[in-house]
Structure 1
């Protein structure tokens, strides 16, 4: 009988210990749900299986830009066009700068028509025609685009406008109809500074921007 009583007491003691341990973590429990990961460009966090279009939340994008006026301009443009992206635009502007210059130098009016609005196109074609009437031809070459920076950004109505300052090195040579050098030096590059204004109707399905103004500086 004593043995039975001792075994019963031992079993009760073990049961009490087990019950006191209930609810404590053992290290083998399922992991808690993963914390939401940050959205792109600082947008509010989204869960992995969230199929909501994050790019449409234009008011949550934070531009890493010190100039407050530029930040506001970017935000205004993005509200009208959620696809607007600063690095993508700058890359396109650099390419446009090169193609427009080369088209102007070679007298390629068809290419210029693609990139310029009517007023700038008329200015460029008038310069080409004057050059041709004088029998001159350009042998210019773009050596390098050292800088391409947005210096102004705004939304006028539904039209977005961005001014880009370009700093480039160009070999500028003018020859006559017989190929004789009139001006410039083939072995010497000159630095040029341009401010070009690009514009786009944010309601348009055409993603391209047009050059609407140019000036030096």
Structure 2
């Protein structure tokens, strides 16, 4: 072996040995590794020093009138309400697109039912063969209003619908997508806890 190569090999061994001493063999992360938390004078919560009072955390913002509605209607729960509103939205939208709104009378106000009925009548036979949601509609509680004995809760829906439309020339059904963003307001008479929530208003929203 030439002396130059042997000399370079010796230098490489020395360099690797020095790196081994400085860095060690261990690399990566183990489950028992615990991050160190710097101690400061402003430490709070579980890292507070003994005898030091933890600073109060800011309260989570709540929707205006939510507590007032719960005080009037002990059965109201915002999480359950949003889920039920989403289910109602899906059922009403699909029934409307099929032209089957007779079964919705008890879930709609007179004004909303009247608008839906006129729209179905004007559409006539020009309706989709099949309508479905591409994904579950995105549902958010938007606003709560209380007026005397009425509670009005507005919910924002973002959805995408898939339509299968008939071909006037008798060909294969055509498919079309439609995205919608709407505010639906559900209303309830608070005089009795058994009164149902009904859809009282539908309006466009920004996507």
- Output the TM-score relative to the length of structure 2: 0.63
Matches within 5 A, 1:194-213: 194-213=182-201
- Give the Cα–Cα distance (whole angstroms) in 2 for the partners of residues 171 and 180 of structure 1: 19
- Give the Cα–Cα distance (whole angstroms) in 1 for the partners of residues 168 and 121 of structure 2: 14
Matches within 5 A, 1:63-74: 66=61, 68=62, 70=63, 72-74=64-66
Equivalent position of 2:100 in the other structure: 108
Equivalent position of 2:149 in the other structure: 158
- Give the Cα–Cα distance (whole angstroms) in 1 for the partners of residues 170 and 200 of structure 2: 33
Q: Deviations over 1:5-31 (max 9, x none)?
A: xxxxxxxxxxxxxxxxxxxxxxxxxxx
**Gaps (5+ residues) in structure 1?**
1-63
Equivalent position of 1:121 in the other structure: 113
Contact (CA 8 Å) 2:189, 2:195: kept in 1 or not? no
- Output the TM-score relative to the length of structure 1: 0.60
Q: 1:175 to 1:153 in 2, by over 3 A?
A: same
Matches within 5 A, 1:18-97: 66=61, 68=62, 70=63, 72-97=64-89
Q: Deviations over 1:80-123 (max 9, x none)?
A: 11111101111110000011011101111222212110000000
- Give the Cα–Cα distance (whole angstroms) in 1 for the partners of residues 170 and 127 of structure 2: 8
Contact (CA 8 Å) 1:80, 1:158: kept in 2 or not? no
| Segment of structure 1 superposing worse, 205-214 or 98-107 | 205-214
- Give the Cα–Cα distance (whole angstroms) in 1 for the partners of residues 168 and 117 of structure 2: 19
**Gaps (5+ residues) in structure 2?**
1-58
- Give the Cα–Cα distance (whole angstroms) in 2 for the partners of residues 214 and 146 of structure 1: 16
Q: Please point out which of 112, 136, 143 is paired with 2:134.
A: 143
Please state which structure has a larger fraction of its residues in helix: 1
Q: Deviations over 1:105-158 (max 9, x none)?
A: 1111222212110000000011011111xx312232222234100111111111
- Give the Cα–Cα distance (whole angstroms) in 2 for the partners of residues 111 and 179 of structure 1: 31
Equivalent position of 1:22 in the other structure: none
CA displacement at 1:177 relative to structure 2: 7.0
Contact (CA 8 Å) 2:156, 2:183: kept in 1 or not? yes
